[in-house]
Amino acid sequence: MEDKPDFSIVLDSKVIGGISGRVDVQNETGELGYSIGRSYWGQGLMPEASETVVDWAFEELVLAKVLAGADLRNIGSQRVMEKLGMTREGVLRSHGKSEVGNGLTTSITTSFARSGSNADDGET
Ligand SMILES: CC(C)(COP(=O)(O)OP(=O)(O)OC[C@H]1O[C@@H](n2cnc3c(N)ncnc32)[C@H](O)[C@@H]1OP(=O)(O)O)[C@@H](O)C(=O)NCCC(=O)NCCS
């Protein structure tokens, strides 16, 4: 099984964005990252596209948990995670570098996750 599945988001035969995954088969977890062209922001396209990937991860890969991370200042990305039914699990400060605004800055990474029906965390 592919442990780094990549998906393109296609609209009217044009690739407008992508979703990349990283699957840890042994631990039954997966992480996704995503990006869509600026002119397509704010139309709910990424939540729609990434929901398909999250559903696939739970149903076909039978993962226990799907995670996503974003810089704490990237409100748009965190909104996508919330729309995916994910909840915030933690905040990691000075966690490498990330692109915020016009340049690279020290990252404050926030991690979101959603558990699958086979998760054993006492919450599902
Ligand atoms: C983050 C991103 C994936 C959101 O995708 P999207 O298809 O625009 O998602 P939505 O339409 O649901 O919008 C999500 C949020 O983005 C923000 N947003 C929407 N339009 C925006 C715009 N024109 N400018 C800035 N932020 C905007 C809003 O906070 C919105 O939340 P709301 O619906 O509660 O108002 C997209 O902005 C993107 O690709 N950004 C650049 C790459 C990136 O940040 N990737 C994630 C790295 S962790």
- The full set of domain ranges for the chain reads 6-115
pTM of the model: 0.93
Residue ID of nearest Cα to ligand 1 atom 40:
35
Q: Is 70 in the pocket of ligand 1 (CB under 6 A)?
A: yes
* Residue 105, helix vs strand vs coil: strand
Q: How many other C-beta atoms can be found within 10 angstroms of the C-beta atom of residue 28? A: 16
d(CA 66, CA 40): 25
How many C-beta atoms surround the C-beta of residue 34 within 10 A? 21
Q: CATH class for domain 6-115? A: alpha beta
**44 in contact with ligand 1, CB cutoff 6 A:** yes
- Structure tokens given for 35: 């990006």
Q: Is the dihedral of CA 93, 96, 69, 64 positive or negative?
A: negative
Per-residue model confidence as pLDDT tens digits over 11-65: 999 999 999 999 999 999 999 999 999 999 999 999 999 999 999 999 999 999 9
Is the CB of 36 inside a 6 Å radius of any atom of ligand 1? Answer: yes
